[in-house]
């Protein structure tokens, strides 16, 4: 018997009255259903918790962490909870902080897969031939390398090549194997670049996002002593959203848990919607086969939605082949019927949805944040945004590009980051190659290799005599020129006002000319205007606050971080893709564009992909707590033509019993007039109540 099982049998009696439980914890535990309690207390081996939408899975995870620490003798530093997003990790950290002392909660290892990978790699970097302060390249940095190798600047091609290489990495496909797997022109091009891409990253002492999981898997596979060290450090693992794991993440989980297999995986096969980015639903199928002692507990009670909403969701998902039988149920009452509206075209749909939302809000006396409008693809948001702005309704758009994420702004901030921190290798790579200054990839590879051997930054390495002996004078000269330029600007940036230094920096690198040489005139104008706006903003802020350019660089990082926050506290309608809405909930949900060719998508009509599209519909339905409204168009504009469209097959699959249909060719206009009159009446009523 393992020490964990001994601990479980001797110390983990699930007595809610025990001294180990705080008052807050007692209250939380007393509200659990039998299945949730069983999932929390089970420690006799690997556990899969099939947690349906709205079934309280986060509560189960956090309560189990508290149970492991307070009642089962686990040290907090030996317990790890792995999520897929920083937001989910933060929420989990906050919840566990209410159950355990602050100091105890801070010792827990709660992070994303990628954050855990970074922590492992920082500590074990030298074993893999990296310096501990290796760089992590973002998508734009990686695209630049792939573009150079594939000799293309076409953005669509680059995105496709990146996706192919990323999927290979996540599936643990080596560059050598990729050459044999390539089955079309794009895959052949990606395979040809893959090996050199990996070598370039290694030479730069850099990793991409996929490496943060792939390299720990390689590390553990090749170094058993390192594996054992981390297995002893992370004694119990809890994995959230397990259905979204890819092959690489699955291997990492197996290697970390080892023969003890002390883990709880929480997931839902009905919400597996990320196959397009490498998530593998087969990981759920593998668990019972690879872990014969696996215990499966189903959480089927839904605490989010009304009976009608859940019935529609169950009806839809029942058309998929099931890995595990599961049926959600609720004690929240039947609720309102689901509405399905046919609209004559996309403009009428956007206008009708916004009008209906506004009327519903007045009727319910609700807030804007209670409402979400969800869609299959980002382009569907444009008309909705126009209508919301016309009606002066505040909204938040998920997935929109931040100003600071624009390529031209990232180019300039790379220089600023390097001025603030000479050891910022990704900033160095971007700055030294943008604009081009006669420094080729081969020279940078030599520099990266030398810096890795010396365990110094790329910037410091270029000044060392040892590096000078490895390259030709013609290769060294532009590097030294760049290094001296940075040093001169850096000296000024620490003592002179920002409004004096930044214009000189932009002039010195001749960024405007670079844009016009590499972009179409209209694009170059837009991008240069963004740079000028950024420069003017920084200059104004520097003058107003008396800050140097170095000081302002920190402000940029903070503003960018805040810009990416989700705006939970803002009273605004949420616009989001269905993929981005997963894990969230809203009192009232509008699903738009529920048509054949959109949902299911026209490129997802083979049986396997149809099942994922159906799961996406299921996710959309189960975001709703109190009311659900669907709409589709009878005609939709493609190019300059109006093409007839059909309602999605998923509408029929919901069943007719709890649905109220409206609209269509004859009823579209009367419905619009009726809705407008209803809204006016409600406004008048509310105005009268205020008197």
Q: Is 85 a catalytic residue?
A: no
Cross-sheet strand order for the sheet of 573-577 = 395-397, 573-577, 371-375, 586-591, 624-633, 338-343, 659-663
Determine contact, residues 620/628, Cβ cutoff 8 Å: no
CA distance 385 to 378: 11
Q: Identify the active-site residue in 614, 623, 649, 672.
A: 623
Determine contact, residues 623/304, Cβ cutoff 8 Å: no
Other beta carbons less than 10 A from residue 320's beta carbon = 16
Q: Identify the active-site residue in 58, 109, 227, 490.
A: 58
E strands, 84-141, in order: 109-112, 135-136
Determine contact, residues 244/272, Cβ cutoff 8 Å: yes
Q: Identify the active-site residue in 71, 210, 211, 241.
A: 241
Instruction: Report the greatest alpha carbon distance in the chain.
Output: 86
3-state secondary structure 130-165: CCCCCEECCHHHHHHHHHHHHCCCCHHHHHHHHHHH
Q: Is 623 a catalytic residue?
A: yes
From 284, 244, 145, select the one nearest 582 (Cα to Cα): 244
Q: Identify the active-site residue in 25, 35, 36, 57.
A: 57
Q: Is 241 a catalytic residue?
A: yes
Other beta carbons less than 10 A from residue 235's beta carbon = 19
CA distance 428 to 176: 30
E strands, 318-380, in order: 329-330, 338-343, 371-375
Backbone angles phi, psi at 336, to 5 degrees: -75, 150
Q: Is 38 a catalytic residue?
A: no
Q: Identify the active-site residue in 240, 244, 268, 612.
A: 240
Determine contact, residues 319/611, Cβ cutoff 8 Å: no
Determine contact, residues 253/241, Cβ cutoff 8 Å: no
From 223, 32, 6, select the one nearest 128 (Cα to Cα): 223
Other beta carbons less than 10 A from residue 634's beta carbon = 20
Please tell me whether residue 377 adopts helix, strand or coil conformation: coil
Q: Identify the active-site residue in 271, 358, 387, 577.
A: 271
Determine contact, residues 372/381, Cβ cutoff 8 Å: no
Determine contact, residues 672/351, Cβ cutoff 8 Å: yes
Question: What is the set of active-site residues?
Answer: 57-58, 240-241, 271, 623
């Amino acid at each position: 018997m393992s020490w964990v099982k001994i601990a479980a049998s001797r110390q983990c009696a699930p007595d809610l009255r025990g001294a180990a439980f705080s008052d807050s914890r007692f209250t939380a535990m007393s509200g659990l259903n039998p299945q949730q309690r069983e999932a929390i207390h089970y420690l006799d081996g690997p556990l899969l918790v099939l947690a349906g939408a709205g079934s309280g899975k986060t509560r189960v995870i956090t309560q189990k962490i508290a149970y492991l620490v307070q009642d089962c003798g686990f040290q907090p530093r030996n317990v790890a909870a792995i999520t897929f997003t920083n937001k989910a990790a933060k929420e989990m950290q906050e919840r566990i902080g209410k159950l355990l002392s602050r100091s105890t909660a801070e010792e827990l290892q709660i992070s994303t897969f990628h954050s855990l990978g970074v922590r492992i790699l920082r500590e074990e970097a030298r074993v893999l031939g990296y310096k501990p302060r290796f760089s992590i390249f973002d998508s734009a940095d990686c695209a630049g390398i792939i573009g150079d190798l594939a000799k293309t600047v076409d953005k669509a091609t680059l995105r496709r090549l990146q996706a192919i290489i990323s999927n290979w990495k996540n599936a643990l496909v080596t560059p050598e194997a990729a050459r044999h797997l390539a089955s079309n022109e794009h895959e052949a091009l990606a395979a040809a670049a893959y090996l050199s891409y990996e070598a370039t990253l290694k030479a730069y002492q850099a990793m991409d996002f996929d490496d943060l999981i792939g390299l720990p898997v390689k590390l553990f596979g090749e170094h058993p002593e390192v594996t054992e060290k981390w297995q002893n450090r992370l004694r119990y693992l809890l994995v959230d959203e397990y259905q979204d794991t890819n092959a690489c993440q699955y291997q990492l989980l197996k290697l970390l848990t080892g023969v003890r297999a002390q883990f709880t995986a929480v997931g839902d096969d009905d919400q597996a919607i990320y196959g397009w980015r490498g998530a593998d639903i087969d990981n759920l199928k593998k668990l019972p086969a690879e872990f014969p002692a696996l215990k499966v507990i189903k959480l089927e009670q839904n605490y989010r939605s009304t009976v009608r909403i859940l019935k529609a969701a169950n009806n839809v998902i029942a058309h998929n082949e099931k890995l595990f039988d599961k049926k959600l149920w609720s004690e929240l009452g039947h609720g309102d019927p689901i509405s399905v509206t046919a609209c004559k075209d996309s403009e009428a749909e956007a206008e009708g949805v916004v009008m209906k939302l506004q009327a519903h809000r007045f009727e319910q006396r609700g807030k804007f944040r209670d409402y979400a409008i969800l869609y299959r693809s980002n382009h569907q948001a444009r008309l909705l945004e126009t209508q919301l702005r016309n009606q002066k309704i505040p909204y938040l758009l998920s997935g929109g590009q931040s100003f600071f994420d624009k390529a031209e702004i990232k180019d300039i901030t790379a220089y600023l980051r390097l001025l603030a921190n000479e050891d910022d290798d990704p900033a160095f790579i971007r700055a030294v190659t943008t604009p081009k200054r006669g420094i080729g990839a081969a020279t940078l590879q030599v520099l990266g290799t030398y810096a890795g051997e010396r365990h110094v930054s790329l910037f410091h390495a270029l000044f060392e005599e040892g590096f000078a002996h490895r390259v030709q004078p013609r290769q060294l000269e532009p590097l030294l020129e760049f290094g001296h330029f940075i040093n001169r600007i850096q000296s000024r940036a620490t003592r002179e006002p920002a409004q004096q230094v930044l214009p000189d920096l932009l002039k010195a690198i001749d960024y405007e000319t670079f844009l016009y040489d590499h972009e179409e005139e209209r694009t170059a104008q837009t991008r240069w205007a963004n740079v000028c706006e950024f420069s003017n903003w920084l200059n104004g802020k520097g003058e107003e606050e008396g800050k140097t350019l170095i000081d302002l660089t920190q402000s940029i990082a903070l503003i960018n971080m805040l810009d990416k926050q989700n705006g939970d506290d803002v009273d605004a309608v949420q616009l989001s893709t269905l993929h981005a809405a997963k894990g969230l909930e809203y009192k009232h949900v509008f699903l738009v564009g529920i048509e054949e060719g959109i949902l299911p998508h026209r490129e997802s009509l083979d049986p396997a992909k149809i099942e994922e599209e159906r799961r996406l519909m299921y996710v959309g339905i189960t975001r709703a707590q109190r009311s659900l409204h669907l709409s589709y168009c009878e005609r939709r504009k493609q190019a300059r033509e109006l093409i007839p469209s059909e309602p999605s097959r998923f509408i029929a699959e919901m069943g007719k019993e709890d649905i109220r249909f409206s609209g269509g060719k004859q009823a579209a206009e009367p419905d619009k007039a009726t809705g407008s009159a209803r809204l006016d009446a409600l406004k008048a009523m509310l105005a009268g109540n205020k008197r």
